[in-house]
Chain A
Amino acid sequence: MSTRLPKGGRLIDRSKSLSFTFSGQPLRGFAGDTLASALLGAGQTMVGRSFKYHRPRGIVASGAEEPNALVGLGRNARFEPDQRTTTTELFEGAETTSQNHWPSLKFDVGAINDKLYRLFPAGFYYKTFMFPRFAWKHVFEPIVRQSAGLGAVPKERDPDRYEQAYAYCDVLVAGGGVAGLAAALKAGRAGKRVIVLEQTPHWGGRAVVDGGQIDGLDAEAWVKDALQKLESMENVTLRNRTMAAGLHDHGYVIGYQSVGDTTPGDGRPRHRLWRIRAGLTITATGAIERPLSFAGNDIPGVMLASAVRDYLVNWAVSCGDRTVVVTNNDDAYRTALALLDAGLAVPAIIDARDMPAGPLVDEARRRGIKVMEGHGITRVLGKTNVTGVEICRQAGEGSVVKQIDCDCVAMSGGWSPVVHLWSHCGGKLTWDEAHAMFRPDTTRPPTGADGGPIAQPVGAANGHLRLSEIMDEAGIGAASDEEGPMAPVWLMPAGAPDALRFKAFLDYQNDVKVSDVQLAAREGYESVEHTKRYTTLGMATDQGKLSNINGLAILSDALGRPIPATGTTTFRPPYTPISFGAVTGEARGEIFQPLRRTPMHEWHEARGAHWEPVGLWRRPYCYPRSGESHRDAVNREITNTRTNVGLLDASTLGKIVVKGPDAGKFLDMLYTNMMSNLAVGKCRYGLMCNENGFLMDDGVVVRLSEDSWLCHTTSGGADRIHAWMEDWLQCEWWDWKVYTANLTEQYAQVAVVGPKARDLLEKLGGMDVSKEALPFMQYVEGTLAGIPARIFRISFSGELSYEIAVPASYGLALWEALNSEGAAFGAMPYGTEALHVMRAEKGFIMIGDETDGTVIPQDLNLNWAISKKKEDFLGKRAMERSHMTDPERWKLVGLETVDGSVLPDGVYAVAEGHNANGQRNVQGRVTSTYYSPTLKRGIAMGLVKHGPERTGEVIDFPGDNGAVHQARIVDPCFYDKDGEKQNV
């Protein structure tokens, strides 16, 4: 059983005891502990259950590669599933819960799967659960889903906040071990802007655990010295608790910083996401030890040899009283020696190599540890904790030569450089035969914008596993640390029979065994990607950090081809999982997207406007009064506008000034109709099409002066249309002398609409808005109520109507003046829905309703707005194509239900019969449909085949629940056809 030793521990502060709970059980640890070291220190070796077989799982590793020891952390709104205990710092009051079992960790019903393991090999679900057909969805899938899925589901909105920040540097060093620090020193001294990221709270990596001499100093002292030097350099930034999560194209690094994880609720951001643009990323990400594949290698108490050493040295935790070391390399001997140093028992080192030799091996022997050469483990004994191991000849089939009692197994299958960052953007790997590992092929680095390398590996991440090699690469001297050669061992024993291979785990979390990979190979899933996906190898939350190379070796062996020919799966970001909160940053709730506000926004808000999102704007849909439904409010607003006067905040309308000697020529290309011949002071409605001939925007164009025009666009279209104008001016007609400016936000605009509109403006005073002075479709400039203003006499409602544009800073003043002075005339604000209904009553089209990106002006009977005189305009050529001139195209009509009801939105008019695909033939559809309070009946517009020729005909629109709506084809203008109201 694991326990805390009475002394030692580099990282813990025994003066600060911290309390925490594990599945309700109160436990204690020390400041400096990880959750994992605290759990082990408290004797908790079993911490969870596996994904598929629900087998007991303990802590295997001491860092980011941990596949098993995931817990639920926190409670209620601060609950977080799948938290990796090996990288989570312990804090006072931490509440943790074990995962993936029911009803309890010790007794789990799902563990029945383990008993039936032979029925559930890799991919069994592809071969079964097919009958009866409905059973997958209704029976099998729910069972599979319930037993899979590791963590519990958070139930509440996250109360924490997250930050995002930018940084730029010449050199980013990912990893704060000795290789990273050496690289940072070198870059820092060369005057580069350097950022060093270290994922843990501590600097120095493995060297400070394993010891050794650098530049004449202890590793620990050298690290301290290096940090002091780096801290003194202004061009160097050190960030611990910050992981380089991904290296993206052109040197874009995502850094993930833990800020407030250990102090929940203190108001600081929980995480900070760094977006770093780095000239060169030095990957000093170290190496990860590989497990060995033997039966029962997943039983709690079987751990990586380096992890056993880490827990001992860093946290004074003994992972067991009696530890058997099993290895194929010299490094694991360091664990045995460290255990001896701590006074713990090492009954044997099982070394798969026939003749291990080297200083470490010699020392182990000298200190009396029994070294069993050429041996391996047949199987581990124990259920929820290791109780012993059976030993066999590695070269054989597992005949037990000896049994050793122990409560911990420290295994080492060699090391693999962490090549994730190197690989994210396409850095290639090469197979290192001597160490049986993939390491970066520095001749084929990931490349950036200039085609040069964007990453450079150093240290263990570059395949230098010994300290002396690492420091040699950095040009710094280090003491000799010779090791004998390792020998690749992918299966233990080499000739393990089925019964052993079915219990030799590769991927602990996903329960993928040696036998599963062999089955995949046998069934033809030969690509490493096939095997991964068929067996789920490497698809767990550790993304195969422990399992991939071992699995790949088994696959290669099964296919009889060398490991490099099999290749690896693709390394994808992030290196370890990062919170969605951090990815989201501060952009949530009200500021989830930028909010655009008109100058009158707060006024609307204060009056209880019901909002409608329009692009990034919010516009009042209506202004409901107390007790009033939205529908009633809209009807009231319409009736009041048509009887008295209504006020609309039209500030969101796009306003683009086009100016210059060639502005008229340019607008003639942009609009389907002629704009160059518009007289100064006049307004004209215009249509814009894209090069495909489809309507994209409309609005009133005003000629402000000889060389300048003001183009109104739809609310959502201003930015797009401005960009569109610039596109043509810069990329096609670059010799034309035209200047454009998008002034949408520089002006507030108010529509004053209704029979009493003129009375109201006259009351405000300052400008002559009489019929004579300001006829329909003209504009004047002046001072209205003391505010500089442009008044356009245009109408989208059919009423007497003025649109008044004032500098944005005057917008609220004008709006308030109109409301207060308007009270005497019954003025009321109205919203977008009233606007829509009133335009529909007049038969005016709305971009986005009557158009949907497939409609050409001719469909809407807007031929009058298409110039016949112009040789060219955008969309003209497209309109000549056969489908555009097809007489069968649907055309705009008005629709009146026979019974006066309102047609549902979006209904289609059916025709006789079905098409070749068995779909009902249709002959038209509704584009806009409203209740008209003016006409006290439903009105609609629609596109109907041969529509305008069929006036008076009644057609069928199938609705909901078998209802069929009958509507008569009529003129789209339902109200004041002669325009008498707007021309007063």
Chain B
Amino acid sequence: MRRYSMFAVAREALRFHAGWEKAWKSPEPKKRYDVIVVGAGGHGLATAYYLGKVHGITNVAVIEKGWLGGGNTGRNTTIIRSNYLQDPSAAIYEKARALYEDLSQDLNYNVMFSPRGLLMLGQTEHEVRGYKRTVYANNLQGVETRWIGPQEVKDLVPIINIDGPRYPVLGALYQERGGTARHDAVAWGYARACSNMGMDIIQQCEVTGIRTEGGQVVGVDTSKGSIDCGKLAIVVAGHSSVLAEMAGFRLPIESAALQAWVSEPIKPCMDVVVMANTVHGYMSQSDKGEMVIGGGTDGFNNYTQRGSWHHVEETTRALVETFPIISRLKMLRQWGGIVDMTGDRSPILSKTPVGNIFVNCGWGTGGFKSIPGSGFAMAELVAKGEPGPLAAEFGLNRFKEGRFIDESVAAGVAH
């Protein structure tokens, strides 16, 4: 692989960039792989990457129904944070956040991780108490967060209105090393690195069946023919239920639409990410200058990647109230993604009733921020056949035992 650098760009400039090679190869599937990862989104590609990098398993195919990175990886609001309340969540999201810190250098692909800081506003006494609890929990979990007062919030975000008549800002949970990254680049960077390790990324290849023998997986049927495998990792987010059905088990997952929208671009005016959970909205400014906005999830099962308009109104109201200057900005584009929600709104990284099939799903609204940590933990699970400490608490058995990892306790919603 040719390394990316400023010098390489300068060298190519002299010959009109004719010499760049493909970022990833697009081969036809081989007959057999040690591991097949279904789903070439961020999580699937990261799983493959750490299988190779950490566990030395490179006879791997990542197969994708559409185009790599074409699902939620490419349609989220790019927020990265790890200020979670419960220990297992804080551990895996902080692992992800820490990996994001060096991901550009690790992948030799600039994913533009921007640790610009993230604020979760406290707007009721109850919410304030919840966030203070989170701060104390985070400090013991090795996650750096702190509680800041309204004036410090205003200093960090001059466009915020802290004296709203209904929900004045009482302070905020501040994660200084939270931020954003360029979402597509995360998928592309991992894909390039996987391809470079000799893994096959097979796009436009739909899984149509899962073959098992004696309770063990032996391969998959796809639109590009049958492929044998030793192990199968299902990492397909909103479509997990469909794949699980093929393998003959059911998951505690429901798929629903989550929407996001952006404004037209304006010059920099907001250097941090702000989440306002009491009023249901969050906003950051992209490097292009667009205000990137998201809100709550639709409450009904949906696979259409479109959501309901009233959520757009509700969240926009919340943000105009919080940031009055955006009233005269214009909404440029609105879209939806399909999120996979579990019974406790925390993910599943687990063995399944079928031998050597592993699932990684249920990230709900937390998918993008967790990609490196999720891939790292999933690779360990697939390679060893047993979860490591990061994945240990996220098994399917927790639903039977009543051992939930509930993040909604500190705040009304978790994004």
> Which residues of chain A have a CB within 8 Å of any CB of chain B?
51, 78-82, 118-119, 121, 124-131, 133, 136-137, 141-142, 144-146, 148-158, 160, 246, 248-249, 252, 254, 275, 424-426, 498-499, 502, 515, 519, 522-527, 529-530, 533-534, 536, 539, 541, 543, 570, 572-574, 577-581, 583-585, 587-590, 592-593, 595, 612-614, 621, 692-693, 848-849, 852-854, 878, 881-884, 904-908, 910, 915-920, 922, 925, 958-959
Q: Given A128-B110, A130-B108, A150-B289, decide whether A583 and B316 contact each other with a Cβ distance below 8 A.
A: yes
A126-B189, A153-B159, A543-B333 known; 14 other A-B pairs, CB under 8 Å? A51-B288, A82-B266, A118-B16, A127-B109, A131-B5, A151-B264, A153-B325, A523-B23, A587-B317, A848-B126, A883-B401, A906-B131, A906-B133, A917-B91
Tell me the smallest distance from the CB of A744 to a CB of chain B, in Å: 20
* Nearest chain A residue, comparing its CB with the CB of B140: A920
Encoded as 1 (CB less than 8 Å from any A CB) or 0, chain B from 12 to 29 comes to 111011101111111000
For residue B188, CB closer than 8 A to chain A, the reply is yes
> Which of B30-38, B41-49, B307-315, B361-369 sits within the interface?
B307-315
Flag if A119 contacts B124 (CB, 8 Å): no
Complex alpha-carbon distance, A145 and B401, angstroms: 49
Contact of A574 among B18, B114, B334 (CB under 8 A): B334
> Which residues of chain B have a CB within 8 Å of any CB of chain A?
4-6, 8-10, 12-14, 16-18, 20-26, 66-67, 69-70, 74, 87-88, 90-91, 101-102, 104-105, 108-110, 112-116, 123-126, 128-137, 139-142, 159, 161, 164-167, 179, 182, 184-185, 188-189, 203, 263-269, 278-279, 285, 287-289, 304, 306, 308-309, 312-313, 316-321, 324-335, 389-390, 392, 398, 400-404, 406, 408-410
Flag if A148 contacts B26 (CB, 8 Å): no
Flag if B132 contacts A904 (CB, 8 Å): yes
Complex alpha-carbon distance, A782 and B335, angstroms: 59
Flag if B113 contacts A136 (CB, 8 Å): yes
Contact of A131 among B105, B131, B279, B288 (CB under 8 A): B105
Flag if A533 contacts B23 (CB, 8 Å): no
Flag if A905 contacts B132 (CB, 8 Å): yes
* Nearest chain B residue, comparing its CB with the CB of A152: B267
Flag if B332 contacts A543 (CB, 8 Å): yes
Flag if B26 contacts A958 (CB, 8 Å): no
* Nearest chain B residue, comparing its CB with the CB of A536: B288
Complex alpha-carbon distance, A572 and B266, angstroms: 21
Complex alpha-carbon distance, A585 and B314, angstroms: 10
Flag if B317 contacts A919 (CB, 8 Å): no
- Residues on A with C-beta less than 8 A from B22 are 522-524
Flag if A579 contacts B327 (CB, 8 Å): yes
Flag if A119 contacts B10 (CB, 8 Å): yes
* Nearest chain B residue, comparing its CB with the CB of A521: B22
Q: Given A905-B129, A910-B140, decide whether A519 and B324 contact each other with a Cβ distance below 8 A.
A: no
Flag if A525 contacts B334 (CB, 8 Å): no
Flag if B4 contacts A154 (CB, 8 Å): no
Flag if A150 contacts B166 (CB, 8 Å): no
- Residues on B with C-beta less than 8 A from A153 are 159, 266-269, 325
Flag if B325 contacts A590 (CB, 8 Å): no
* Nearest chain B residue, comparing its CB with the CB of A880: B402
Flag if B264 contacts A612 (CB, 8 Å): no
Flag if A152 contacts B266 (CB, 8 Å): yes
Flag if A853 contacts B408 (CB, 8 Å): yes
Contact of A158 among B134, B137, B327 (CB under 8 A): B327
Could you pull out 26 A-B pairs where Cβ atoms are within 8 angstroms?
A: A80-B328, A81-B328, A82-B264, A119-B13, A126-B4, A127-B6, A130-B5, A130-B104, A130-B110, A131-B105, A144-B287, A145-B287, A150-B267, A153-B266, A246-B309, A580-B316, A583-B331, A613-B124, A848-B126, A852-B409, A881-B402, A882-B401, A905-B129, A906-B132, A910-B140, A917-B88
* Nearest chain A residue, comparing its CB with the CB of B267: A149
* Nearest chain A residue, comparing its CB with the CB of B124: A613
Flag if B332 contacts A148 (CB, 8 Å): no
Flag if B265 contacts A82 (CB, 8 Å): yes
Flag if A158 contacts B288 (CB, 8 Å): no
Flag if A126 contacts B185 (CB, 8 Å): yes
Complex alpha-carbon distance, A726 and B123, angstroms: 31
Tell me the smallest distance from the CB of A78 to a CB of chain B, in Å: 8
Contact of B409 among A614, A853, A920 (CB under 8 A): A853
- Residues on B with C-beta less than 8 A from A920 are 140-142
- Residues on B with C-beta less than 8 A from A907 are 133, 136
Flag if A127 contacts B4 (CB, 8 Å): yes
Tell me the smallest distance from the CB of A267 to a CB of chain B, in Å: 17
- Residues on B with C-beta less than 8 A from A426 are 304
- Residues on A with C-beta less than 8 A from B404 are 692, 854
Complex alpha-carbon distance, A251 and B128, angstroms: 42
- Residues on A with C-beta less than 8 A from B134 are 906
Complex alpha-carbon distance, A527 and B324, angstroms: 39
Number of interchain pairs (Cβ within 8 Å):
342
Flag if B20 contacts A523 (CB, 8 Å): yes
- Residues on B with C-beta less than 8 A from A81 are 264, 266, 328-329
Flag if B114 contacts A577 (CB, 8 Å): no
Flag if B140 contacts A919 (CB, 8 Å): yes
* Nearest chain A residue, comparing its CB with the CB of B302: A249
- Residues on A with C-beta less than 8 A from B268 are 142, 145-146, 149, 153
* Nearest chain B residue, comparing its CB with the CB of A151: B266
- Residues on A with C-beta less than 8 A from B332 are 541, 543, 574, 577
Q: Given A592-B164, A958-B140, decide whether A692 and B402 contact each other with a Cβ distance below 8 A.
A: yes
Complex alpha-carbon distance, A523 and B1, angstroms: 12
Flag if B116 contacts A958 (CB, 8 Å): no
- Residues on A with C-beta less than 8 A from B135 are 906
Tell me the smallest distance from the CB of B171 to a CB of chain A, in Å: 11
Tell me the smallest distance from the CB of B395 to a CB of chain A, in Å: 13
- Residues on B with C-beta less than 8 A from A581 are 320, 327-328
* Nearest chain A residue, comparing its CB with the CB of B410: A852
Flag if A583 contacts B312 (CB, 8 Å): yes
Flag if A590 contacts B166 (CB, 8 Å): yes
Tell me the smallest distance from the CB of A346 to a CB of chain B, in Å: 35
Tell me the smallest distance from the CB of A694 to a CB of chain B, in Å: 9
- Residues on B with C-beta less than 8 A from A498 are 16, 18
Q: Given A519-B20, A958-B136, decide whether A529 and B330 contact each other with a Cβ distance below 8 A.
A: no
Q: Given A249-B306, A572-B334, decide whether A524 and B264 contact each other with a Cβ distance below 8 A.
A: no
- What 7 pairs across the A-B complex have the smallest Cβ distances? A149-B289, A906-B133, A577-B330, A916-B389, A158-B327, A881-B402, A127-B4
Tell me the smallest distance from the CB of A967 to a CB of chain B, in Å: 14
* Nearest chain A residue, comparing its CB with the CB of B312: A583
Tell me the smallest distance from the CB of A556 to a CB of chain B, in Å: 15
Flag if B113 contacts A583 (CB, 8 Å): no
- Residues on B with C-beta less than 8 A from A882 are 401-403
Complex alpha-carbon distance, A144 and B135, angstroms: 33
Complex alpha-carbon distance, A67 and B55, angstroms: 50
Contact of A592 among B124, B265, B321 (CB under 8 A): B321
Q: Given A128-B110, A157-B327, A958-B136, decide whether A519 and B263 contact each other with a Cβ distance below 8 A.
A: no
Complex alpha-carbon distance, A853 and B404, angstroms: 10
Complex alpha-carbon distance, A137 and B111, angstroms: 11
Contact of B166 among A129, A425, A585, A592 (CB under 8 A): A592
Flag if B289 contacts A145 (CB, 8 Å): yes
Flag if B330 contacts A579 (CB, 8 Å): yes
Flag if B402 contacts A908 (CB, 8 Å): no
- Residues on A with C-beta less than 8 A from B105 are 130-131, 133
Complex alpha-carbon distance, A118 and B263, angstroms: 30
Flag if B124 contacts A612 (CB, 8 Å): yes
Tell me the smallest distance from the CB of B325 to a CB of chain A, in Å: 4
- Residues on A with C-beta less than 8 A from B333 are 543, 572-574
- Residues on A with C-beta less than 8 A from B392 are 916
- Residues on B with C-beta less than 8 A from A580 are 263, 316, 319-320, 326-331
Flag if B167 contacts A613 (CB, 8 Å): yes
Flag if A574 contacts B265 (CB, 8 Å): no
- Residues on A with C-beta less than 8 A from B285 are 145
Flag if A584 contacts B327 (CB, 8 Å): yes
Contact of B330 among A51, A82, A915 (CB under 8 A): A82
* Nearest chain B residue, comparing its CB with the CB of A957: B136
* Nearest chain B residue, comparing its CB with the CB of A836: B125
